[in-house]
Chains A and B, each alone.
Chain A
Amino acid sequence: MEQLILLILIPPLFSAALNGIFGRRFSNATVSLIGCGAAGLAALFALLAAWTYSHLASEPLPFIQSYFTWIEAGPFRADFALYYDRLTLVMTVTVTLVAFLIHLYSRGYMEHEGGYYRFFCYLNLFLFMMLLLVTAANFPLMFVGWEGVGLCSYLLIGFYFRKKSASDAGKKAFVVTRIGDAGFTVAVALLYWSFGSADFGYIFDRIGAMPPGSMQGALTAAGLLLFLGAVGKSAQLPLYVWLPDAMEGPTPVSALIHAATMVTAGVYLVARSSILFAHAPMALAVVATVGVLTAFYAATIALTQNDLKRMLAYSTISQLGYMFVGCGVGAFAAGIFHLMTHAFFKSLLFLAAGSVMHAMSGELDMRKMGGLRSKLGTTWLTFFIATLAISGVPLLSGFFSKDEILAGASEGPLGHPLIFWLAVFTAAMTAFYMFRGLLLTFHGPSRVEPHVASHIHESGSKMTRPLIVLAFFSVVAGYLSWPKAWGGAERFDEYLDPVFGRSTALLAAENLRPAEHSLSHLEIMGVSVAAALLGIGVALWFYLKSTEIPRQLAARFEGIYQLLVRKYYVDEAYDWLFVNPIKRLSDKVLWRSTDAAAIDGLMVDGSAEAALSLGGVLRRIQSGNLRSYATWVLLGAVLWLGYALFHG
């Protein structure tokens, strides 16, 4: 088992090194063989590890293995240790499967792009870092993976580095997530200070053994700070601004990193630390609140976006909010379940969008699309399936996971009717804007420009086959947790119970819900399906039947429309509040005053100046004039005599 877990991590790392160092000389075929091969091996080993772990005698206890001592500084010790339990199983299998499919897709998508080897190198490096993140057994090692995925995200967003908007977007992503990382670091320091260790096993056992209500200050602070890290990495309010810009990267990057894996790292962090949050319900309440507000907020922006990938980006932010709602109300398994289903259908959506982009010679503005269904059959079908899934249409995966989250919001330990209804409204909006996207892109009259229209072609099998596989998963992944209300056993939740059971039970026992009657599970399902159908219905009405209505609405409610299209002017606000003042500070104070004047002028030039003038003064002693020499001698003698008399 110890070797198996390591074997999941090693192929991507090795392949990244190989492609990175020698890739320039390899042919595209070799590069993709190494790259996809590594991803495939990782997936294979992940499945093997899953099978092996499930048959261990110690199952379902976590399997922790330390491989070597990494940091040892006085009493502080952090090993390179990996932690494998059921949650890790779910994460590794999902991540490697989706990553493998996206690697395959990239073979087709990036075929004609420059820097082919660089792309696969970064993609594999990212995979390694992400796997390290989810298998780490202590916070510092997890942070290595955390920062590593941030690095790869920067490298991949700015892949087309010659394009200024792309490199700017990369920088923006890195800087904004850094703010969250600061929170993460302080949280780890706080936990170390409180518990004397940074190991998951040790800390979580200690917390679990404490009576509820103890160490509230430290635990709540740690929880909030960890969540701050998650807010940055998973693009929640207010640190979400980097994700829409990240669409500058190649589409497979958007699919892998910004839909299925990296952005879910924050959710994983919260889920992994569930016992900590269970003992700090205030922090958990903040998680749920931020999650639902973000979900709602991002959905409102997605309603009006015209760029296909941007719309999907805001959709991702919104769905991540849902996952945090799941965790935040105490239904951690529901949050992870949604993470898994979302990975499938969101990456599918992005890859299909890439296929559309490919066909449309790079065009992404939905106003210039339309009627593509006839020419892009497979792409349409897979996109349609994914849209059904994300809208929460029954019998597809999204329905089951979204339903569990809504159930948690209504009945869960920290559930609240406000959260529930906001989430329901958001679900309606989600269905609406997703179908809007579908209809604008694939249906209706063609608004495609003629010179683009002549090149429209369905993508090759390298791209469409992964789409089909992902579509399959988007349908069936939900059956892992057939709801109890329909006679099922909710296997997924049950499966993750060893991981989350203690936390959920603790939260339930604390009896924090407002004492209101909650809806039954069937009623909740009914509400969510109704919301989905409402959203779909309005979208069909607006974009299929009476297509003038959106334009009329936009004209009537010009103010609100502009507010939404311009993303609530948040980027402009941040520019005014933070970016420009810092730029001015850097220019006027740090550059002009400190660097140029103080350091260059005062210290460097100044010391040279001082040396020169001192020399100039002292030079006068060497005048060549004998009498002045005699004078100096006399003066020296007098001074020495005086010293000898008075101090000697």
Chain B
Amino acid sequence: MVPLYHILAVSVILFGLGAAGFIVRRNIITIFMCIELMLNAVNLAFIGFSRYLGNPNGQVIVFFVIVVAAAEAAVGLAIIIAVERNRATLTIDEIDSMKM
């Protein structure tokens, strides 16, 4: 079997990359992709624990997370399209006010 901490290490690295990208990148869509990356890193961690504790609960949570992530991606992309149509930009630095 693969040692647990291998799985966790990958999970942490993925999460870190996602977080770093979330902070650093300017394009909204890239940021969304980083959010997805963070979510999947967490999924990986859950599965690893589930396998090593023999507890199926971890895998059930992963189902929930995937569903939520999908829904969130759908809604989020819809908002991005609306914003892009209104402001003609995808750079997050320029979307900093609520005013139209």
A626 touches B93 (CB 8 A): yes
A630 touches B22 (CB 8 A): yes
B97 touches A626 (CB 8 A): no
The smallest C-beta distance from B27 to any residue of chain A, in angstroms, reads 12
State A631–B21 Cα separation when bound (angstroms).
11
A593-637 vs B, Cβ < 8 Å mask (1 yes, 0 no): 000000000000000000000000000000011110011001000
Residue numbers in B under 8 Å from A624 (CB-CB):
96-97
State A634–B18 Cα separation when bound (angstroms).
11
**Residue of B whose beta carbon sits closest to that of A626:** B92
Residue numbers in B under 8 Å from A626 (CB-CB):
92-93, 95-96
Residue numbers in A under 8 Å from B96 (CB-CB):
624-626
The smallest C-beta distance from B57 to any residue of chain A, in angstroms, reads 20
* Chain B residues close to A by CB (< 8 Å): 19, 22-23, 92-93, 95-97
CB contact between A627 and one of B19, B93, B97 (< 8 Å): that residue: B93
B92 touches A634 (CB 8 A): no
Residue numbers in A under 8 Å from B92 (CB-CB):
626-627
Residue numbers in A under 8 Å from B93 (CB-CB):
625-627
The smallest C-beta distance from A529 to any residue of chain B, in angstroms, reads 110
B23 touches A630 (CB 8 A): yes
Residue numbers in A under 8 Å from B97 (CB-CB):
624
A-B CB contact pairs (8 Å), 17 listed: A624-B96, A624-B97, A625-B93, A625-B96, A626-B92, A626-B93, A626-B95, A626-B96, A627-B23, A627-B92, A627-B93, A630-B22, A630-B23, A631-B23, A634-B19, A634-B22, A634-B23
Residue numbers in A under 8 Å from B22 (CB-CB):
630, 634
Residue numbers in A under 8 Å from B23 (CB-CB):
627, 630-631, 634
State A630–B92 Cα separation when bound (angstroms).
11
State A59–B23 Cα separation when bound (angstroms).
103
Residue numbers in B under 8 Å from A631 (CB-CB):
23
State A624–B93 Cα separation when bound (angstroms).
9
State A626–B24 Cα separation when bound (angstroms).
11
State A624–B95 Cα separation when bound (angstroms).
9
The smallest C-beta distance from B21 to any residue of chain A, in angstroms, reads 11
Please list the 10 inter-chain residue pairs (A to B) with the smallest Cβ-Cβ separation, ordered nearest first: A624-B96, A631-B23, A626-B92, A634-B19, A630-B23, A630-B22, A627-B23, A626-B96, A627-B92, A625-B96
State A627–B93 Cα separation when bound (angstroms).
7
Residue numbers in B under 8 Å from A634 (CB-CB):
19, 22-23
The smallest C-beta distance from B11 to any residue of chain A, in angstroms, reads 14
The smallest C-beta distance from B8 to any residue of chain A, in angstroms, reads 14
Find residues 628-648 in chain A having any chain B CB closer than 8 Å to their own CB: 630-631, 634
**Residue of B whose beta carbon sits closest to that of A631:** B23
Residue numbers in B under 8 Å from A625 (CB-CB):
93, 96
State A142–B60 Cα separation when bound (angstroms).
92
**Residue of B whose beta carbon sits closest to that of A625:** B96
14 more contacts with CB within 8 A, not counting A624-B96, A626-B95, A631-B23, are A624-B97, A625-B93, A625-B96, A626-B92, A626-B93, A626-B96, A627-B23, A627-B92, A627-B93, A630-B22, A630-B23, A634-B19, A634-B22, A634-B23
The smallest C-beta distance from A97 to any residue of chain B, in angstroms, reads 93
The smallest C-beta distance from A638 to any residue of chain B, in angstroms, reads 9
The smallest C-beta distance from A635 to any residue of chain B, in angstroms, reads 10
State A627–B92 Cα separation when bound (angstroms).
8
State A624–B96 Cα separation when bound (angstroms).
6
State A631–B23 Cα separation when bound (angstroms).
6
State A625–B19 Cα separation when bound (angstroms).
17
State A627–B94 Cα separation when bound (angstroms).
11
State A631–B22 Cα separation when bound (angstroms).
9
State A630–B19 Cα separation when bound (angstroms).
9
State A630–B22 Cα separation when bound (angstroms).
8
A68-102 vs B, Cβ < 8 Å mask (1 yes, 0 no): 00000000000000000000000000000000000
The smallest C-beta distance from A38 to any residue of chain B, in angstroms, reads 82
**Residue of A whose beta carbon sits closest to that of B97:** A624
State A634–B38 Cα separation when bound (angstroms).
12
**Residue of A whose beta carbon sits closest to that of B23:** A631
**Residue of A whose beta carbon sits closest to that of B94:** A626
The smallest C-beta distance from B12 to any residue of chain A, in angstroms, reads 12
State A601–B58 Cα separation when bound (angstroms).
61
A559-578 vs B, Cβ < 8 Å mask (1 yes, 0 no): 00000000000000000000
**Residue of A whose beta carbon sits closest to that of B19:** A634
State A337–B50 Cα separation when bound (angstroms).
112
**Residue of B whose beta carbon sits closest to that of A638:** B19
State A177–B26 Cα separation when bound (angstroms).
83
Find residues 41-76 in chain A having any chain B CB closer than 8 Å to their own CB: none
The smallest C-beta distance from B38 to any residue of chain A, in angstroms, reads 10
State A435–B23 Cα separation when bound (angstroms).
106
Residue numbers in B under 8 Å from A627 (CB-CB):
23, 92-93
State A630–B24 Cα separation when bound (angstroms).
10
State A647–B39 Cα separation when bound (angstroms).
26
